Structures are given as C-alpha cells and as structure tokens.
C-alpha cells in the first residue's frame, strides 16, 4: 500500500492569510500561531471583549481558530478536508475529556474578499501554551517526563475506551495547556472502530506509522487500523522526550527512517535506543515498539498508564515491568550488550509493580521445554542459585542447593541491578530475587529470567560482595 503524509499544498499552500483584527463569527483574529498540511491556526479572542489594550488580549479569553480551506481543492480533496473536520467535531461532541483539546465552536468562514478562504471550515478550540514539539526544540519538558507521558496515556486510554484511534499521534499534536497539563489535539485522522479495529484513509506522518501500516491492503473502506497503532507512536514519542527529539530509528529523511522501521520489524536490525533514555522508560518504549500488532496488543494505553503510576508511587526508582518475551529477542540481546558496557546498572526488566510487600512465593521456570515435563529431577535439568548476584553466574558462584522447574521458593526482596542474565529464550534481566533456603542462614539468589512470577517485593540492601 501507499502511505501519504499531509501535503502542504493541500492547505496552507493555497491559503491567503487572515488579517489581524478580522472578525470571524464571534471571534477577532490575532496572529497565526501554527500551520499544518490542510490549514492554518490563528490566535483569537471574543469580538466583544474589552479592547482597551487590543495588542495585549487577556490570555484567559484567547482561543485558537483552525481554518481549513476547501476552495481551490479538487472535489475529492475537499471532501477529505470536510470529513476531517466532521470527525473532529464528532469526537469533541461525543468523547470530551480533560486530556483532549476542547472544541468550543465551529463555523463556515464568510470571506468574499478572500476567494481561497471563502467557505473555509473553522474550528474554534481552546488555546494551548504550546506543543510538545516546541518544548523538544527548546530543550525543556514541563512537569517532568512522567507527568507528561502519563497525560498522553490518559488521553489515549480515554480515546480507545470511547472507540476511537487517534492515528496521528506526534509531538506537534500533543499540546500543553495553559494549566501545564497535556492535551491531545488534531483529530482529523481519528478513526472510530468497532470491536478490535476500523478503517481509515492511508494517511499519516511517516515517522510515527507502525510497521504493519506499510503492509495492510487498501480496500474500499481504507486500511485497517487498531489502537496499537497509537501505542507504536507513543513509543516513538517517549524516546523523543528523553533523547532531545531524536527518533529511535536511523535515517536522514522520514522515508529512510521508515525503511529502518521495516528492517527492524522483519528482524534484520535491532532496536537501538539513545543512551539518554532511562531504564524504566526504555522498557516502556520497547514494549510500545514491539514489531507486530500481536506483540503490541497487550500493552494498552491503560496498562502503560498503570505501570507509570506504579513506578511513580515507588518513588520513580522501581524497575521496569517485564518485556514481552521471545518476540523482543533482538532488543534483549542489545540490552544485554548495553548492560555489560554499563556494568549492569541500566537494564533491569522486572521489579515491584506495587507497594513493598512481605516474603512471597515464586515458582522456578526453566525455558528448556524438554525439562518442563520431567518429574525425575534429572541433574541435567537443574538450575543453580547464585551466591553473589553481582559476580558472573558460573559454577563457581552457585550454592550447593539445586532447584528444578516448578519448584516453589520463598523470596523476600529483589535486587534491580545485579549481573545481567539471558536465558534460553533470549529474555534478559538484571533483576535477582533473594531466596530464603531452609536449614541455612545464607541467602541465595535467583535471576528473574528463571521465574515468570513478578511479586511486589521491597528492594534488597546492596549485598556485601562474596568471596570464595
């Protein structure tokens, strides 16, 4: 299929500017504050507002006018613009939310002196302080990255619960309100779905399209779209927030970066994240950027929001939730290499996902399928518990007691930054659980890749290095 970006010639390229002071419905135009592919956004204020100081309107009364011209367009293009405006109006009417930009009014512009603007659709929206793209360009992020990304997740979770997919999430469409809170905006491409998916026109911004968008066939209703497309775009945005606006995929142009996405999705290239992306957010972004819809489906906006809230409740120091498993093999290998280079300090992939708790039972997991069904406790299928979780996991660093698949152990705390371990399914982790062994006061350590359980346990104090 062919995917198009918004062409500037569809909107602002044909447009004549609106003069400051011009009246549009109940509003007086101030100055242009942004331009997109299909139109221009102007600051405005109520026409009947006091004008003792017209060059300095009260910010509390300002709105944004999104002007979408249809004159000069081919009939099909004009219908697309009108349909885009209709979707924005419908979504604003049916699914309002504090994390979505508020739609105040709509009208048709009467401007016979501006033939290319006459008959334009005008959407009146609340005025934001700026966009996330503005902030990334200036090198600042308001209220901390956790609050920012949580706000985006709140907006997406609401959209998806209401049965809509944004389809064009990117920093330009993530606004920061005058109250400092996040507002998602620009729902011209938003698509309503029923069940698990819907259909939309084959348009979007190349840097934020998931890999499957390039392969979905174009039918008479458009291309198939799912909420996981927004989750992919969220992963790109998370990376950009921590990497100063840099995308996670290499390339000098959007087309080149799109080719890199396909290389990654087909397993021919790893996911390479900027070193500035912290551990927790790296894992969150990696789950959002799982290469297929099926891998991504479990990571809903709501579940991602819950992970962020749990992380913040733990003081912003908790380890990230487990990765998606075998489908993330290449990312796991890349993470392992990064862990070794950084002395294992940046790569925990599991940890407490709730408040600190008491000792908990965890079940041993052996990834070798030939050992999972054996009941004879064959030595070849046994697993070792480490003496020191920060030393190499070798035969010289295991306790005498062996464990087998299915054994239930008692763990009392976890160490998030131990030696990185990778198992037979290429899962990687730096998390270790401290195990209480019967008949011995000496603790032992089980790497998180040797269990599928993730109990809510407090962090262990740093272990004293063991010498043998």
What is the predicted pLDDT for the residue at 119?
85
Do the strands 40-46 and 63-68 form a parallel or antiparallel pair, or are they unpaired? Answer: antiparallel
Percentage, residues of the chain above pLDDT 90: 31
* Pair 230, 167: CB distance under 8 Å: yes
- How far apart CA 121 and CA 468 sit, in angstroms, is 77
Dig out the tokens for 363 from the structure: 């079940």
Q: How confident is the model at residue 8 (pLDDT cuts 50, 70, 90)?
A: very low
Between 208 and 381, where is the model more confident?
208
User: Considering the entire predicted model, what is its pTM?
Assistant: 0.61
Residue 230 has pLDDT above 90, yes or no: yes
Q: How confident is the model at residue 349 (pLDDT cuts 50, 70, 90)?
A: very low
Between 354 and 36, where is the model more confident?
36
CA 435 to the chain's CA centroid: 35
What is the predicted pLDDT for the residue at 453?
86
SS3 assignment for the chain: CCCECCCHHHCCCCCCCCCCCCEECCEEEEEEEEECCCCEEEEEEECCCCCCCCCCCCHHHCEEEEEECCCCCCHHHHHHHHHHHHHHHHHHHHCCCCCECCEEEEEECCCCCCCCCCCCEEEEEECCCEEHHHHHHHCCCCCHHHHHHHHHHHHHHHHHHCCEECCCCCHHHEEECCCCCEEECCCCCCEECECCEEEECCECCHHHCCHHHHCCCCECCEEEECCHHHHHHHHHHHHHHHCCCCCCCCCCCHHHHHHHHHHHHCCCCCCCCCCCCCHHHHHHHHHHCCCCHHHHCCCCHHHHHHHHHHHHHCCCCCCCCCCCCHHHHHHHHHHHHHHHHCCCCCCCCCCCCCCCCCCEEEEECCCCHHHHCCCCCCHHHCEEEECCCCCCCCHHHEEEEEECCCCEEEEEEEECCCCCEECCCCCEECCEEEEECCCCCCCEEEEHHHECCCCCCCECCCCCCCCC
What is the predicted pLDDT for the residue at 56?
46
The segment(s) of the chain belonging to CATH 1.10.510.10 are 8-126, 130-317
The angle, 0 to 180 degrees and rounded to 10, between the axes of the packed helices 279-288 and 144-161 is 20
Q: Note the pLDDT tens digit of each residue in 381-407.
A: 888 899 999 888 777 788 888 899 999
* Pair 364, 451: CB distance under 8 Å: yes
Q: How confident is the model at residue 367 (pLDDT cuts 50, 70, 90)?
A: confident
* Pair 296, 228: CB distance under 8 Å: yes
What is the predicted pLDDT for the residue at 322?
37
What is the predicted pLDDT for the residue at 161?
92
Percentage, residues of the chain above pLDDT 70: 77
Tell me the CB-side half-sphere exposure of residue 284, using CA atoms within 13 A: 33
- How far apart CA 449 and CA 426 sit, in angstroms, is 9
Average pLDDT over residues 193-209: 73
Q: How confident is the model at residue 319 (pLDDT cuts 50, 70, 90)?
A: very low
What is the predicted pLDDT for the residue at 400?
87
Angle at 352 (CA atoms; ends 335, 465), nearest 5 degrees:
70
Q: Note the pLDDT tens digit of each residue in 243-266.
A: 988 999 998 888 899 999 999 999
Average pLDDT over residues 70-85: 76
Average pLDDT over residues 161-187: 90
Dig out the tokens for 164 from the structure: 């809509």
Residue 155 has pLDDT above 80, yes or no: yes
What is the predicted pLDDT for the residue at 372?
83
Which of 273, 252, 274, 248 shows the shortest CA–CA distance to 261? 248
Average pLDDT over residues 99-116: 88
Please name the residue that has the structure tokens 């087909």.
266
Between 326 and 198, where is the model more confident?
198
Overall fold of domain 130-317? Transferase(Phosphotransferase); domain 1 (1.10.510)
Please name the residue that has the structure tokens 């050992």.
371
Between 55 and 438, where is the model more confident?
438
* Pair 285, 153: CB distance under 8 Å: no
What is the predicted pLDDT for the residue at 325?
34
Q: How confident is the model at residue 409 (pLDDT cuts 50, 70, 90)?
A: very high
What is the predicted pLDDT for the residue at 428?
67
Mean pLDDT for the chain overall: 78
Dig out the tokens for 374 from the structure: 């054996």
Q: Note the pLDDT tens digit of each residue in 41-59.
A: 999 999 876 554 444 445 5
Q: How confident is the model at residue 195 (pLDDT cuts 50, 70, 90)?
A: low
- How far apart CA 111 and CA 163 sit, in angstroms, is 37
Architecture of domain 8-126: Orthogonal Bundle (1.10)
Q: How confident is the model at residue 223 (pLDDT cuts 50, 70, 90)?
A: low
What is the predicted pLDDT for the residue at 50?
54
Q: How confident is the model at residue 229 (pLDDT cuts 50, 70, 90)?
A: very high
Average pLDDT over residues 367-394: 82
**Least confident window among 125-129, 351-355, 456-460:** 351-355
């Amino acid at each position: 299929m062919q995917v198009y970006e918004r062409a500037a010639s569809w909107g602002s390229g044909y447009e004549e500017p609106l003069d400051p002071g011009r009246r549009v419905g109940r509003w007086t135009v101030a100055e242009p504050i942004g331009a997109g592919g299909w139109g221009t956004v102007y600051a405005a204020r109520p026409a009947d507002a006091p004008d003792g100081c017209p060059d300095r309107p009260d910010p509390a009364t300002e709105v944004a006018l999104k002007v979408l011209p249809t004159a000069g367009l081919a009939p099909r293009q004009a219908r697309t613009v009108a349909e885009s405006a209709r979707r924005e109006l419908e979504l604003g009417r049916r699914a309002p939310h504090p994390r979505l930009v508020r739609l105040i009014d709509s009208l048709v512009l009467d401007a016979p002196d501006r033939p290319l603007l006459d008959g334009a659709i005008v959407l009146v929206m609340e005025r934001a302080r700026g966009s996330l793209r503005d902030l990334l360009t200036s090198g600042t992020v308001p209220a901390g990255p956790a609050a920012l990304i949580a706000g985006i997740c709140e907006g997406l979770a609401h959209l998806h619960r209401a049965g809509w997919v944004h389809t064009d999430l990117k920093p330009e469409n993530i606004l920061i309100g005058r109250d400092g809170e996040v507002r998602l905006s620009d729902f011209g491409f938003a698509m309503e779905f029923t069940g698990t998916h819907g259909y939309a026109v084959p348009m979007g911004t190349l840097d934020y399209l998931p890999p499957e968008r390039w392969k979905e066939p174009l039918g008479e209703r458009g291309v198939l779209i799912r909420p996981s497309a927004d989750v992919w775009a969220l992963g790109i945005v998370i990376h950009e927030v921590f990497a100063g606006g840099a995308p996670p995929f290499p390339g000098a142009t959007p087309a080149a970066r799109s080719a890199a996405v396909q290389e990654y999705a087909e397993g021919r290239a790893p996911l390479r994240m900027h070193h500035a992306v912290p551990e927790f957010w790296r894992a969150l972004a990696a789950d959002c950027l799982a290469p297929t819809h099926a891998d991504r489906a479990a990571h809903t906006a709501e579940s991602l929001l819950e992970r962020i809230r749990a992380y913040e409740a733990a003081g912003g120091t908790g380890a990230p939730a487990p990765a998606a498993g075998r489908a993330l093999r290449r990312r796991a290998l890349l993470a392992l290499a990064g862990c070794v280079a950084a002395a294992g300090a940046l790569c925990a992939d599991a940890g407490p996902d709730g408040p600190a708790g008491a000792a908990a039972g965890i079940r041993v997991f052996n990834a070798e399928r030939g050992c999972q069904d054996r009941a004879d406790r064959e030595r070849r299928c046994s697993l070792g518990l480490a003496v020191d979780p920060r030393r190499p996991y070798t035969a010289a660093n295991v306790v005498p007691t062996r464990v087998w698949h299915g054994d239930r152990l008692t763990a009392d705390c976890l160490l998030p930054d131990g030696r990185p371990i990778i198992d037979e399914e290429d899962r990687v982790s730096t998390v270790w659980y401290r195990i209480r062994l019967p008949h011995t006061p000496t603790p032992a350590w089980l790497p998180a890749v040797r269990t599928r359980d993730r109990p809510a346990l407090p962090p262990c104090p740093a272990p004293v290095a063991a010498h043998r």
